[in-house]
């Protein structure tokens, strides 16, 4: 499994990325300093882009014409996508969708957040 995690800071706020990730992983109800996201709009956008994939449930897709599957988990402030055997170009597509909503990727495997600011 490979995790892709996304959130957006409030203006003028910049926190420790790994601590934010840990809070998201612990499914904290609210994290001070993060914006609320249009999670249903984002989920609809993912569903639209991956309309040719089989929708396993309302938050999971699998590729019946190739390899890979993913599941979207959300809080009002974050999107976490668990990728299973998913190819890099599929993960890039997911990252690009989230960039449309100005939510940069945090890659906990590295760990690094890919935005214009650095700690």
- The model's pTM is 0.93
Angle (CA) 109-35-90 rounded to 5° is 40
Looking at 27-31, 36-40, 43-47, 87-91, which range is the least confident one? 27-31
Q: Is 44 helix (H, G, I), strand (E, B) or coil?
A: helix
Model confidence at 71: pLDDT above 50? yes
Q: First-to-last CA distance in the chain? A: 27
* Residue with token string 């170009």: 89
Is 82 within 8 Å of 71 (Cβ atoms)? yes
Which pLDDT does position 116 carry in this prediction?
Answer: 67
> Which of 10, 1, 19, 12 shows the shortest CA–CA distance to 113?
19
């Amino acid at each position: 499994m490979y995790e892709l995690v996304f959130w957006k800071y409030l203006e003028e706020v910049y926190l420790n990325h790994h601590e934010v990730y840990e809070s998201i992983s612990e499914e904290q109800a609210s994290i001070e300093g993060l914006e609320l996201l249009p999670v249903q709009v984002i989920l609809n956008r993912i569903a639209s882009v991956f309309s040719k994939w089989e929708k396993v449930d309302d938050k999971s897709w699998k590729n019946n014409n190739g390899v890979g599957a993913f599941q979207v988990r959300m809080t009002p402030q974050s999107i976490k996508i668990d990728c299973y055997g998913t190819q890099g170009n599929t993960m890039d597509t997911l990252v690009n969708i989230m960039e449309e909503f100005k939510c940069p990727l945090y890659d906990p495997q590295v760990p690094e957040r890919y935005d214009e600011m650095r700690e």
